[in-house]
Structure 1
Amino acid sequence: MTELLVGLIIGIFIMFIVVNINKTKKKRSLKLVQEAVPTELACRIPEGLPIISRLEDSLNSEYMEKVKKRVLANHPNWTETDFNWRLFELKRYFLLAGILKSVPMFSDEVDEIWHEMIMFTKEYENFSKKFFGSFLHHSPNVERTPIPHERALFDWMYLHLFEIYPNSTKLWGGFLKNPLSKTFLEEVRSASDEKLFDKYFRSFDPIKPLQTKLLEQLKNDIEKAEEMKRQNKSLRKKIKTDDTYSMLLPAMVFLSLYEQDSYTEKMSQLLNKDAGTSGGSVYACGAALSDSNDHSGGSGCSSSGCSSSNCGSSCGGGCGSS
């Protein structure tokens, strides 16, 4: 009788695990918008275009066809468009990995394409060396520990570099939930470019102009935040924009520097749930942003949007070349 009871309990426990695993799989199934991916990774910054060409040239077409075939065989419910969007976002990730020394992978969906690329070991090694000049290692984050600053830095870089689409938001789980590290921002404000490049940026000559441009932009955002602090400006000007995220990035820096404890609360006020979609209304720094009916001057500042972000990652801070 006792053995029967124990067996029953074990059976129920196993069923519980199986049911929850199936629920988890269902939660991870994304329904993407079935539209063609943009050209040139929809990069905003001209300095990025030569690097994107280098990236595309490094991805052998025969190699990527094999990856695609393997991925679609493992995911029979995916369309070619589903694959193409995940690959599109992985290419964006690779560009970021060429800029910074450490870039965590924050999307399980995008990471699936990376995993399959690595299965073709020789082709993947050839790609890494041709594009990065060295092997790009994939280091899984077994503990799935949140790394808020690294996610915030990823978002800041990503949103300065690229146009945002509904599928981008879905695949990365949203943007700008986490503040940048105040210590990091103060270091960027005070340290020499040489020191910052040595500590944070990948040594990669072809991408140096783009790295320089992004560092200048980050310093500019810090200056805007400082000016806003000096003038005691409000974060309450309502605007309408087709590009909510990029308009709000300087105030992401402001809140990270001066109001970090209330960052999440302030972000939820500054950015509505439709962030990144056309015509969304947001609240941003009063003197920094103006709509078409307001041509007043003032220092530029805006705020990071708060859209929910899955900080779950299959790859932690170790993603990068060793």
Structure 2
Amino acid sequence: MNSFLIVIICIFAFIFVINLVRKRSSSSTYRKAPKSSPTSLPPAPAVAETTSIVYPLAQRLEQSLSPQFTESIRTRFLADHPQVTDVQYDWLWLELKRYFILCAIMDKVPMFSSKVDDVWHEMLMFTRDYQQFTEKFLGNMLHHTPHTSPVPMPTERGWFDLIYVECFGWNPHSASLWGTFFRHPIPKKELEVSIAAESTFGPRANRSAYEQIPEAQTAIQQIRRNIRSRIHPFKNGSKNHYDVNYSSTNTLLTAALFYAWSESPDYGQFMMPPAEERKDMYTGSSSSGCGSFSSDDHGHKHSHHHDHGHHNSHSGGSDHGGGSHDSGGSSDSGGSSCSSCGGGCSN
């Protein structure tokens, strides 16, 4: 009788151990999406549509990235972030490549997403490959540096939103990473400078890339023309209202420029997406404390600042705090190294 009980106990113990091993194996094999992510994400689209003004720049970027480098970044990032799914990573990688394209167009490009910035940090670990990529794409090294103090950048965010949507359109999945778009207007006096400029859209344009990269020059010139053509109908105050339609890029940008030009104190309310579009904007964005600058062949530094203190809210998007940098008042962050970047940061 005792022998029979011992056999039964051994059988149950064996079954328990087998089930435990299976559960552990299953949990380590499949990455689970974080609770803050949407229930399902569509596949990440192309960096830029063929009809986009930055499509040639997107092609240049892809040609500057080696497949081995791209795969190494992906492998390392997913190993370090097991909670991120393959599709989520594809979206992060997409938005980082779009950020690099914006760096070829604008002189100051804040990093408004800590999640996208995490991929950039991983990319920097491959120091030599990263340097070769940025020099091939931008004509110079794009350095990654931290801010020394949290400075709100509502004007920089206004430019980011305008140029981003001009180049890539708008969708809720991108907004979930960057924070709600069109919460802060571009100051009217900067818009006046942009439409008066002869070749670029003013001091916000990346002059170095404009002079060195034909694809960037074409995009910058077209952005200037688009800004002028959208502002022209209401420049003399001929209209007092524009519809906001997040499914139409042209309508959306025209409304954003109109309410900025009108200096409306209710800009954020006028530009708020409809309720059916806001429901897709889950909280997924917070700004990075890092910045960047690019060094041209003559050793000159071109700053690309990253913002601090921007917290995304479900109802109001990125809260940039008070204060406006109407004249581009971001201070040069210099070339101080970022301790979390390892050898990827530059002094």
Same-fold call, TM cutoff 0.5 = yes
Q: How many angstroms does 1:245 deviate by? A: 5.1
SS in 2 for 1:136: strand
Amino acid in structure 1 at the alignment position of 2:92: R
Q: Equivalent of 2:140, from 134, 153, 168?
A: 134
Q: Equivalent of 2:41, from 34, 38, 41?
A: 34
Q: How many angstroms does 1:40 deviate by? A: 4.4
**Most deviating of 202-211 and 101-110:** 202-211
SS in 1 for 2:265: helix
* 1:102 paired residue number: 108
Distance 1:146 1:73, change over 3 A: same
* 2:207 paired residue number: 202
* 2:13 paired residue number: none
Q: How many angstroms does 1:31 deviate by? A: 4.0
Q: State the distance in 2 between where 1:82 and 1:309 align.
A: 12
TM-score of the two chains, using structure 2 as the length reference: 0.66
Amino acid in structure 2 at the alignment position of 1:169: A
Q: Does 1:267 align with 2:267?
A: no
Q: State the distance in 1 between where 2:165 and 2:142 align.
A: 23
Q: How many angstroms does 1:64 deviate by? A: 1.5
* 1:215 paired residue number: 224
Contact 1:146–1:311 under 8 Å retained in 2: no
Distance 1:197 1:148, change over 3 A: closer
SS in 2 for 1:243: coil
Q: State the distance in 1 between where 2:283 and 2:232 align.
A: 27
Q: How many angstroms does 1:256 deviate by? A: 1.3
Q: State the distance in 1 between where 2:118 and 2:126 align.
A: 14
SS in 1 for 2:78: helix
Distance 1:73 1:177, change over 3 A: same
**CA deviation profile, 1:25-44 (whole Å, cap 9, x unmatched):** x9995447432222343364
Q: Does 1:187 align with 2:196?
A: no
Q: Does 1:249 align with 2:280?
A: no
Q: State the distance in 1 between where 2:170 and 2:271 align.
A: 18
Q: State the distance in 2 between where 1:216 and 1:199 align.
A: 15
* 1:152 paired residue number: 158
Amino acid in structure 2 at the alignment position of 1:103: V
* 2:241 paired residue number: 234
Q: Does 1:163 align with 2:163?
A: no
Contact 1:44–1:162 under 8 Å retained in 2: no
Structure 1: 5+ residue stretches without partners = 1-25, 279-305
SS in 2 for 1:138: strand
Q: Does 1:177 align with 2:179?
A: no
Q: Does 1:55 align with 2:61?
A: yes
SS in 2 for 1:34: coil
Contact 1:225–1:254 under 8 Å retained in 2: yes
Identity %: 31
Distance 1:31 1:276, change over 3 A: closer
Higher helix share: 1
Contact 2:114–2:285 under 8 Å retained in 1: no
Amino acid in structure 2 at the alignment position of 1:64: T
Q: How many angstroms does 1:144 deviate by? A: 3.4
SS in 2 for 1:42: coil
Amino acid in structure 2 at the alignment position of 1:221: R
Contact 1:144–1:312 under 8 Å retained in 2: no
Q: Equivalent of 2:234, from 219, 225, 240?
A: 225
**CA deviation profile, 1:17-76 (whole Å, cap 9, x unmatched):** xxxxxxxxx99954474322223433642x422221110111111112111111111111
- Which of the pair has more CA radius of gyration? 2
Q: Equivalent of 2:127, from 106, 109, 121?
A: 121
Amino acid in structure 2 at the alignment position of 1:95: I
Q: State the distance in 1 between where 2:88 and 2:270 align.
A: 34
